[in-house]
Structure 1
Amino acid sequence: MSEPSSKEITLAIRIDTARHAQLTWIAELRGSNLKQECFKAVDAYIEAAKQDPELIAKAEAARAAIEAEARARQEAIANLFTGTPPPPPPQEDEVEVSEAETPEEKSDSGRRPRQRRGTQTGE
């Protein structure tokens, strides 16, 4: 278990009255207080999480992603002044649009473009 730091954070939670009553009775029967019981519960939860295989796998994946990003950043910094950047990769999704095409011609909806109120005639 990690050692508590000298800096503390206040954590306020809302619980229903039934849980509060149960927790109060547990604390009273154990000869402790609500704060001590909450710390025990949090510590037990953290210890249980450390044994959860799914959580361990997620943590390892997160660590690997962080390390990969760190390596990429280190390489970028190392090559900042020494290496020549590679050419940009070709963009397959780029579509050439002729200059004669207007936004109305590009629309696939088949609807007429809206006109401004001042340009309507016949009123």
Structure 2
Amino acid sequence: MPEPSSKEITLAIRIDTARHAQLTWIAELRGSSLKAECFKAVDAHIEAAKNDPDLMARANAARAAIEEEARARQAAIDNLFTETSPPPPTQDESDGAEEEAITEEGGRRPRQRRGQKPAEGTPDS
């Protein structure tokens, strides 16, 4: 078991009176403290978890996901300084996306930019 760190975290749990009484008696009969008995229980639970095949499989999957994310992030950093970005769209390409809009009759009409007056002969004029 790894050595406990010098920094401790306070963990408060609610426990029913029956369990508290049993745990208190166990501690008293062993000549131990309630805190020591809780630590023994937590340590036993951790040891049991280390031998749980399902938990080990989940840990391996999590490790693989972390490693894959790390590789993707490293590649992004590498590409930041080596690959060139695609050029921004030209004015013609960006206008093409706004070229047409559906009219109330279901036909198509050229779409206008904000602040522009509609062309002559369009339903909006």
TM-score (norm. length: structure 2): 0.69
Is 1:28 matched up with 2:20? no
Structure 1 gaps of 5+ residues are 88-97, 106-123
Q: CA RMSD in A?
A: 2.1
Whole-Å separation in 2 of the counterparts to 1:69 and 1:35: 40
Q: Higher strand share goes to which structure?
A: 2
Aligned residue pairs: how many? 93
Is 1:42 matched up with 2:25? no
Distance 1:3 1:67, change over 3 A: same
**CA shift at 1:101, angstroms?**
6.0
Higher relative contact order (CA 8 A, sep 6+): 1
Distance 1:101 1:5, change over 3 A: farther
SS at match of 2:61: helix
**CA shift at 1:85, angstroms?**
4.8
SS at match of 2:24: helix
Q: What percentage of residue pairs aligned between the two structures are identical?
A: 78
| 2:65 alignment partner in structure 1 | 65
Distance 1:49 1:86, change over 3 A: farther
Distance 1:49 1:14, change over 3 A: same
Rg larger for = 2
Runs of 4+ in structure 1 displaced over 6 angstroms? Answer: none
Q: Deviations over 1:19-64 (max 9, x none)?
A: 0000000000000010000000000000000000000000000000
